[in-house]
Chain A
Amino acid sequence: MDILSIIFIVAGLFFLIVAAIGVVRLPDVFSRSHAVSLTDSLGAFLMLIGMSLHEGLDKNTLKILVVLALLYILNPVIAHATIRAALRSGIKPWKKETP
């Protein structure tokens, strides 16, 4: 069980690190928010599943699962609000320059 939870947490960490690299490398608000959504949807998921496996069947596991459900409902809303605000305030999406 411990090994399984370690595998999950390490996989989650991998996606979190990739997302952080993405935030630095990508060119504008819109594409950066894609990297951030990688954090929420897979990084946090794998981390929390790993933690709940580590806890075993416990009240804390239940709380972790509640956090996960809320995360999955709230995160798209926040990402959408950010992007819509960016779009409405007139930021143009980055385009690859075609020579």
Chain B
Amino acid sequence: MALFVFWIFLSASFEWIHLVLGLTFSLAVAWINSGHSLFVPKFRLWLRILLYLPWLSYKIVESSVHLSKLILHPALPIAPQLISVDSKLRHHGAIVLLGNSITLTPGTITAEVDRNKLVVHAIDKVSSEDVASRQMEMKIADIFKDEEPDL
């Protein structure tokens, strides 16, 4: 069903040949993948993730400006380092969200993930302190506080 809606978005045409083709293919894909999908919609969780996104965008803009300053600085004052973060999160989804958020903010990249241990490459002191302060982790722990731990 979701696939069919997606198809209508993309084709943006209501001629019957398109609709029938889309319906056929989305049913086929759904049938092939049935039984494999672990995706169970949890509306409260998705709402909280949605509310987390504005804060993440703010962090992205902040660190983008910081990184631009670093790049345009004539002396190139960078101090790259690898730091390991021992996260307290106990959900696969939370770890994925944390790793993605770290990588999305310019200046920090998740280099290695092993269960709840992350290795992060940071470009200078400011961005490494950003990761070490665990502000992001706290926010994500808040999102997942009502879920069953699965890690």
Is chain B a partner of chain A in the same complex?
yes
**Which residues of A line the B interface, CB within 8 A?**
15, 18-19, 21-22, 25-26, 28, 30-31, 33-35, 37-38, 41-42, 59, 62-63, 66, 72-73, 75-77, 79-80, 83-84, 87, 93-96
Query: With contacts A34-B123, A35-B67, A87-B112 known, is A42 near B60, CB below 8 A?
Result: yes
B-side interface mostly: mixed
Closest to A24 in B: B71
Query: With contacts A30-B80, A41-B60, A79-B103 known, is A35 near B71, CB below 8 A?
Result: yes
B68 in contact with A33 (CB, 8 Å)? no
| Cβ contact of A42, chosen from B61, B81, B103, B110, cutoff 8 A | B61
Mark interface residues in B59-101 (1 if CB within 8 Å of A CB, else 0): 0110010011001100010111110000000000000000111
B109 within 8 A of A: yes
| Cβ contact of B111, chosen from A38, A59, A63, A84, cutoff 8 A | A84
B109 in contact with A66 (CB, 8 Å)? no
| Cβ contact of A15, chosen from B68, B79, B111, B113, cutoff 8 A | B68
B12 within 8 A of A: yes
A79 in contact with B60 (CB, 8 Å)? no
Size of interface on B: residues with Cβ below 8 Å to A: 33
**Which residues of B line the A interface, CB within 8 A?**
9-10, 12, 60-61, 64, 67-68, 71-72, 76, 78-82, 99-101, 103-113, 119, 121, 123
A-side interface mostly: helix
Closest to B9 in A: A62
B10 to chain A minimum Cβ distance, whole angstroms, is: 7
Cα-based distance from A37 to B99 in the complex (angstroms):
14
Residues of B within 8 A of A25 (CB): 71, 76
Query: With contacts A15-B64, A25-B76, A26-B78 known, is A80 near B71, CB below 8 A?
Result: no
Cα-based distance from A33 to B17 in the complex (angstroms):
44
Closest to B53 in A: A72
